[in-house]
Structure formats: C-alpha cells, structure tokens
Structure 1
Amino acid sequence: MASASELSSLFLSFLLFISPALSTNSEGNALHALRSRFKDPTNVLQSWDPTLVNPCTWFHVTCDSNNHVIRLDLGNSNISGSLGPELGQLQHLQYLELYRNDMGGKIPKELGNLKSLVSMDLYDNRFEGQIPKSLAKLKSLRFLRLNNNKLTGSIPRELTTLANLKVFDVSNNGLCGTIPVDGPFRSFPMESFENNKLNGPELKGLVPYDFGC
C-alpha cells in the first residue's frame, strides 16, 4: 500500500499534468468573458481557446515580450453583443479596436482602468448611454473615436485634462449641451461634433450649458 508521501507525490504529479489544460491568466479570463458576450456568426473568435495558459496565440490579440495583451483588433468583424467590466482587467492594453461592428449597450466605466491605452476606436456601432467620465483617467490616450453610435448626455468636462489627446470624434450621436474649449478641445475641428444636439462651443468664463441633457 502506498505511503502518505507517495500518495502526495502522485497527486502533485497529477496536478502538474492537468494544469496546462486548466490554468489561464487574468487577461485570458477577461477576454474569454468578453467573448461570452459576443455573437460571432463568422467564427472570427474561434481561436480564443480558454484552456491555453495565455491568449497570446489567439488571432486578433497582440502581446508584448512579457505575454501581456497590448492590442485587441476586432474592427469590422461582424460581431454583435456588448462590452463588460472585464475589459478593465487588460491593464497593459494600448489599442482597443472594435469599430464597425454591431455592438450595443453602454460603454463600461471600467475602461478607465486601461492606463496604458493609446487608442480607443468604438465608432460605427450602436453604443448608447453617456460617455464615461472615467475615460479622463487615460492619460496616455491619443485617439478617441466614438462617432456613429447612439450616445447621449453631455461631453464630460473631465476629458479636457487629457493632454495627449490628438483625435476626438463624437459626430453622429445624440449628445447635448455645449462643446468644451479647454485643453486639447481647443484644436478639435467642428466636424468632430457634428450631427448631435450640441449647442456649440461654450464661452470662456461661463458655466457650461448642459441643462436638459
């Protein structure tokens, strides 16, 4: 009969044998949770196998040398569904490309946790609700394109603190109130705001007019 130490050794060996099939990292978990929210009629996400140790071998996912997810490329992929708070776990993500799909629902406030994000392209979808104020925490953000959605409410004044923001487009939504003029908003063309319910640029020194939004 096997001793206790032998049984313990056998059990450990068994765990080591099955662990590759069971283990995954937090980023893989986050992406798999994201996939569960999507309808993917053309099987764009068929390589997203949750049994892999990390998602760096999945199509449309790019990792850095440390196996951290830095890019998610799902633009123009015929995907529908919604985004969830799990996206906020991709702490090293730099590029979030989800444009030209059929995604709806609200933009999760947890996207404000993506401190490394350089580009967020959610344009040409069906996102609704307000632009999260939490996006003001994305101090590395250079490109924010939310045009051609169904967003409502006002443009968060908190976004004027994004000193690195070079491109901002919210045209063709249902936004209301006034257009900020501070920070990077000084240089954005009016085309970035057209086809909304906006009342034009706010005046310096006056309280922004967002009543009724």
Structure 2
Amino acid sequence: MAKALGNVEEEDRRDMRMMGSLLLLAILAFDLVLNVSANAEGDALYAWKTKLVDPNNVLQSWNASLVNPCTWFHVTCNSDNSVVRIDLGDANLSGPLVPQLGQLSNLQYLEVYSNNISGTIPKEIGNLTKLVSLDLFFNRLSGPIPDTLGNLQRLRFLRLNNNSLSGNIPMSLTAIASLQVLDLSSNNLTGDIPINGSFAFFTPMSFRNNPGLKPQKFPPPPPRFQIAPTPSAGGPSSA
C-alpha cells in the first residue's frame, strides 16, 4: 500500500515538473515574440535615424544596441512594448521619411511637424491602419499625397499643410469617415477639391493657398414643383 502511494506521489511530482516546464516554455515563447516585435520596430526606427540629420542630438538615445525602442526618448509604447507614438515636432531634423515606418503596425500618432523633412510621403504610411493623427505640416515634403492614406480608417487628424506637395487630392481620403481635422493648405496641389464623403464637411480653409486647386460647385437643387392655387368658393370660375 505504501509503495502504491509512493508511486502516485512520484507521478504527481513528475506531472507538476512537466507542467512547470511547459509554463516556463510558454512564458519564454511569449517573451520572444514581444522581443522580436520590439526588435523589428527598433530596427525600423533606427533605419530612419540613419537617414536623418540631427544637429541637436534629439535622437541620441536611439541606440542600435538598445533594440527595444521603448527606452528611447520621443517614443511611447503600450503595455505590449509596441510603439504607439512618435513625438518629434519642432526638433530641427532634416532628411526623408522612410518606408520602414510602415512596419510600426500599432502606431497611433506620428508627430513630425515643423522640421526640415524632405522627399516624398512613403506609400507605406498607408499600412499604419491604427493611426489616429498624422502631423507632417511645416516641412519640405514634395510629390503626391499617397492614395494609400485612404487605408487609415481610424484617422482623425490629417495635417500636411505648408509643404510642397503636388498632384491631385486622392479621392480615397474622402472615405475616411472618422476624419475631423484636415489641413492641406499652402502646397502645390492641383485639380478639383473633392466634395463627397467626409470632405463635404470641410471649409475652403482646409485647401487655401493651393493656386492649382479648383473648388467644385455643388449641383443646383432641383426646381420646386409649383402647385396652382385652388380657386376659392364663390370665386370666378373658368368658362
């Protein structure tokens, strides 16, 4: 009897050790996933840093040996160690935006206003489907507004004013129902100003100082159907 009980206890201890090993493996695997994700985002941001001129050393903490960007200044992460915010407004940075920014899949705020950022807006920015605010105003950006920005269906703030952007306003932007603030003023945009979708609510202030833009006129309302007055009782009647 004692021998049987001993065997049961030994099996229980073996099962507990196995469960503990499985739990440890699960924790290690989860930690590995988080680290791989953080490393990929760190690599993307560091690739951007290498293309920028930073006279004030605001990116000094963006160290390639610290691949987790959650420890870097001007970067905010969520509880899963994923980048959700980049704050580099008025930082005296020069250089381009890079396609690797499209790898920051949980990014909600990209604030890079009032710098000397040049080149085009990468179409990969359209991959940032959780983006709430895209502020690139007061830079030296050129080229077209990517049609892929229409993928940003959570976007509430889009400010691209005071650049040198050219070409038409993409119709895809009118499908962003969440858009509350739009400023495309002081660029070199051309063509018709869209008036459908979310753009129906924006005033000419959103598009001013674009000499090549043509405001569209809303179609005239249909003529009202005129109903002849009913002759009053006792009044003259037609012969």
**TM-score category of the 2 structures, normalised to the smaller one:** 0.7 to 0.9
- Larger helix fraction of residues: 2
2:213 aligned to which of 183, 198, 201: 198
Counterpart secondary structure, 2:73: coil
Counterpart secondary structure, 2:205: helix
Query: Alpha-carbon deviation of 1:202?
Result: 5.3
**Structure with greater contact order relative to length (CA < 8 Å, sep ≥ 6):** 1
User: 2:3 matched to which residue of 1?
Assistant: none
User: 1:63 matched to which residue of 2?
Assistant: 77
- Larger strand fraction of residues: 1
d(CA) in 2 for partners of 1:74, 1:173: 22
Report Cα offsets for 1:161-208 as digits up to 9, x if no partner: 100011111000000111111111011111110000211125459xxx
Consecutive unaligned residues of structure 2, counting only runs of 5 or more, are 1-35, 221-239
User: 1:93 matched to which residue of 2?
Assistant: 107
Q: Structure 1: which 4+ aligned runs deviate by more than 6 Å? A: none
1:105 aligns to 2:109 (yes or no): no
User: 2:42 matched to which residue of 1?
Assistant: 28
Compare CA radii of gyration and give the structure with the larger one.
2
Structure 1 contact 106–129 (Cα < 8 Å) conserved:
yes
User: 2:136 matched to which residue of 1?
Assistant: 122
1:156 aligns to 2:166 (yes or no): no
d(CA) in 1 for partners of 2:67, 2:49: 17
Give the TM-score normalised by the residue count of structure 2: 0.74
Residues 116-195 of structure 1 mapped to structure 2, 5 A cutoff = 116-195=130-209
Counterpart secondary structure, 1:92: coil
Report Cα offsets for 1:82-119 as digits up to 9, x if no partner: 01110000000000000000010000000000010000
Structure 1 contact 178–202 (Cα < 8 Å) conserved:
no
Greater CA drift, 182-191 or 108-117 = 182-191
AA partner of residue 134 (structure 2): M
d(CA) in 2 for partners of 1:107, 1:53: 25
AA partner of residue 62 (structure 1): T
Give the TM-score normalised by the residue count of structure 1: 0.83
Structure 2 contact 53–95 (Cα < 8 Å) conserved:
yes
